[in-house]
Chains A and B, each alone.
Chain A
Amino acid sequence: MSAHILTVDDSASIRMTTKIALTGAGYQVTEAVDGLDGLNKAKAGRFDLIVTDLNMPNMNGLSMIEALRKSAAHMGVPIIFLTTESDAEMKARAKAAGATGWITKPFDAEQLVKIARKVLGK
């Protein structure tokens, strides 16, 4: 069974790119449009990896990550966040909130898949 990945982004184009890249690599992908939606979907389903934007309406990525890490079911699920440039402060805060790693925008499909493989352990 292929890994199931949740992509959380308020930008439809980024979600689509992420989805195309990851489905192309054989993963199953579900989309969520903001942190709140992401949190609800993550709680309702079982995901092997969550790829999330940080700056989103309704609930930002940081809060979503924190909330997820508080639930026992989501301890250990890799969470990768997207960050626009190498913003050290944001990166540190996301890591502190419980993120596993990050990918810097702009990214291409190959980079994303590579990172997904890395945190999923192939």
Chain B
Amino acid sequence: MTSLDPIQVFRTEAAELFEQIESGLLDLLNDLSDQDTIDAVFRGLHTLKGSGAMFGFEALAAFTHHCETAFDRVRKGQVPATDELVAAVLDAQDHMKALVSTPQGDHEDASNRLLAALHAAVGGAATTGHVVTPPLPQASAQAAAPASAPAKGQAFHIAFRLPANAMINGTNPLGLLDELRELGECTVKADLSTIPGLGSLEPTDLYIGWSVDLVTEQGRDAIDDVFIFVMDDMDIKVTEVAPVEAKAAEAAPAAKAASPAPEATLQKAEPAKAPGNEPKHGGKQAENVRVPAERLDELMDRVGELVIAQSRLSQLAGSSADLHLRAVSEDVERLSGELRDTMMVLRMVPVGSLFGRFRRLVHDLARETGKVIELETEGETTEVDKTVIERLADPLVHLVRNSIDHGLEPPDERVAAGKDKTGRVILSARQSGGEVIITIKDDGRGINRDRVRAKAESSGLIQPGQMLTDQELLQLIFQPGFSTAAQVTNLSGRGVGMDVVKKTVEALRGVIDVRSENGRGSEISLRIPLTLAIIDGLLVRVGAGSYVIPLSAVEECLELSLEDDLRSRGRSFISLRDNLVPFLRLRELFETGTPPDRYQKMVVISTGDARVGLVVDQIIGDHQTVIKSMSKLHHDVVTFSGATILGDGGVALILDVTHLVAVGQYQEAHLRAAG
């Protein structure tokens, strides 16, 4: 259901406008003369003001008006855009947000303070200095003209002639006459004297004038209202007459009305090209339909069911000799595949929308910490499932804060270390197979491993002197309770902790990698599956059970010969192009109690750098899978990430690749340690 509450729609829209304005302002900091961006910011402020006033956010409208005025002057080249102005409007924007969220609050002091700053930034001429409430809702065609009209009927003589192009421009003279008739008793006469000969007659032009005698109780204002839209361009003469004399007074004004038709020069006098051809700005305003996310989820569920039903149909058709049935089944298969793909695309959102908010964050943090920071973003167009984006927002904020707060050094320290005084934070996204990899990289001081160890030991996370791999040591920063008071500043101390970051990423079936080099910087990568609902899987059989391995993780399939199997007993490694790859016998892991198939297969899966082989009895084929989550009773099962329904109605469990790779690597590490 699309929300039908305009106020709610306005709030959503305001949030988008704020984003647009903010990103424009930040762009301006790079290039103060960029006319397109100035226009975009102006337009954002303009719409915000207009819509705000419509929905009763009067304080917002009045306040925004001043910012808009300032930008209007910049747009027209009357004042230059300056860093001060941009900063003033950025500050003002936070205030505007407050005016949207709590329109009833007391904002006057803040308003005046911010306006003073704005005032100063544009050299004092932009605003009138104090808040002016916008005009109250009032149509230009004053609907309810003050009833100053006399109680009794009053007689008017109206002679008018519309501009020649009036009809082209949508004014219907007969409509105007109808309106006059509604005002009271009315006699209408047409003046046809100025109709030219057929040779020079433009069929679309208007050559007729009218004279009207009207007796009305509604007064002169009501007559003006009838002509409100054409008043400025037309010849009109309204004279008040005493009712009895009305007819006698007719002749004189009629002569005036017969004057030559007003020239149509105004029509195309100024081609108005200047604001006419606005360049497309960033493609931001592509046509959109807003759909609540739960609708998409619902649709996704249906598509999922369809995919399942379709695979049953395929199976039936496959075993049937009926060629027609097979043809139909193939069509349905193709269509449901396409439907699924379209559905996936619908849910995909570019990560750029997420990255956008970090520019402001970095700007603010730079001001708070006194550090000089440059934020670079890469791969904004990479698309990710909407749910993933939403859930990643908070963890990313925390990671970026962390990089800036703990990672980047103050300028003097950087210079002393022989680095550029500007610290760099790079936020990048890229797709890799079925995953999207989001990386936060800084060129700061790096993670101090000794301090991490000391902290972990003192807080009891590890035993003193415990052997840890480098990755294990770095991963400690994601342990609950790792962050200590000494480390919490007013920046990173807010919001979620690193342990919540890790939990969120894991809930998305993702993994976190940490890399860090002392004095050179750190890099944290989040690897998240592209989508959460449907995956392409490889269907395999182990013992009597069917299992699905996410196809995105599969590197290759090979046959595990009996000799290899026997030779590797005890040491589950296989040599794969000169690399030792550990493998797991799923039959043993799942304790199927069945003898191995004569021709066992090995499926090599990987997450990033780590690989592991999974020994299965049979590879059945690829299988499009709708992930069904496990019941509450099974929430602590780690080997499987979900389940799916097969074409024959049976159930297959989906293997959790991350977990299995970790198990394989663990096994490898232990065997290595054991020599």
Contacts and interface: CB of A to CB of B under 8 A. Distances in A.
B285 A69 contact: no
Contact of B172 (A96, A111, A119): A119
Given A58-B278, A63-B277, A102-B140, A96 B272 contact: yes
B432 to A, nearest CB: 35
Interface in A76-122: 76-79, 82, 84-86, 92-93, 95-108, 110-112, 114-115, 118-122
Interface string A18-29: 001000000000
A13 interface: yes
A3 to B, nearest CB: 13
A13 B5 CA distance: 9
A12 B48 CA distance: 11
Contacts of A121: 172, 174-175, 178
A95 B171 CA distance: 11
A62 B139 contact: no
Contacts of A63: 272, 275-278
A96 B165 CA distance: 10
**SS of B interface (majority):** loop
Contacts of A16: 4, 6, 9
B43 A57 contact: yes
Q: Which 8 A-B pairs have the closest CB atoms?
A: A101-B229, A100-B170, A111-B139, A121-B175, A78-B170, A13-B10, A63-B276, A106-B53
Given A13-B54, A14-B50, A95-B232, A69 B169 contact: yes
B49 interface: yes
Contacts of B12: 12
Interface stretch (B90-98, B262-270, B550-558): B262-270
A43 B200 CA distance: 30
Contact of B272 (A11, A66, A102, A122): A66
Contacts of B233: 95
Given A106-B53, A108-B137, A114-B139, A55 B46 contact: yes
A105 B56 CA distance: 12
Given A12-B290, A16-B9, A105 B170 contact: no
B275 A85 contact: no
Interface of A: 10-14, 16-17, 20, 33-34, 37, 53, 55-60, 62-63, 66, 69, 75-79, 82, 84-86, 92-93, 95-108, 110-112, 114-115, 118-122
A96 B267 contact: yes
Nearest to A75: B168
B179 interface: yes
Contacts of B172: 76, 78, 119, 121
A113 B10 CA distance: 21
B31 interface: no
Contact of A93 (B141, B174, B272): B272
- How big is chain B's contact interface, by range? 35 or more
Given A96-B270, A100-B170, A114-B141, A62 B9 contact: no
B288 interface: yes
B451 interface: no
5 contacts: A13-B13, A57-B43, A96-B268, A118-B175, A120-B175
Contacts of A66: 271-272, 276
Interface in B248-273: 266-272
Nearest to A49: B170
A10 B170 contact: no
B199 interface: no
Contacts of B143: 110-111, 114
A119 B138 contact: no
A79 B587 CA distance: 74
B46 A58 contact: no
B6 A17 contact: yes
Contacts of B169: 69, 76, 79, 95, 98-100
Contacts of B165: 98
Contacts of A86: 140
B411 interface: no
Contact of B275 (A62, A100, A106): A62
Interface string B178-215: 11000000000000000000000000100000000000
B162 to A, nearest CB: 12
B54 A107 contact: yes
A52 B267 CA distance: 19
Contacts of B167: 75-76
Nearest to B270: A96
Contact of A100 (B138, B171, B272, B288): B171
B560 interface: no
Nearest to A57: B285
A58 B36 CA distance: 11
A101 B9 contact: no
B666 interface: no
Contact of B54 (A17, A34, A79): A17
Contact of B138 (A79, A102, A104, A114): A104
Contacts of B171: 78, 100-101, 119
B141, B233, B267: which has the most chain A beta carbons within 10 Å? B141
B43 A13 contact: no
A2 B631 CA distance: 54
Nearest to B68: A84
Contacts of B287: 33, 37
Given A75-B168, A78-B170, A96-B266, A115 B54 contact: no
B379 interface: no
A93 B47 contact: no
B61, B165, B175, B228: which has the most chain A beta carbons within 10 Å? B175
Given A58-B280, A69-B168, A11 B13 contact: yes
B228 A62 contact: no
A75 B166 CA distance: 10
A84, A102, A111: which has the most chain B beta carbons within 10 Å? A84
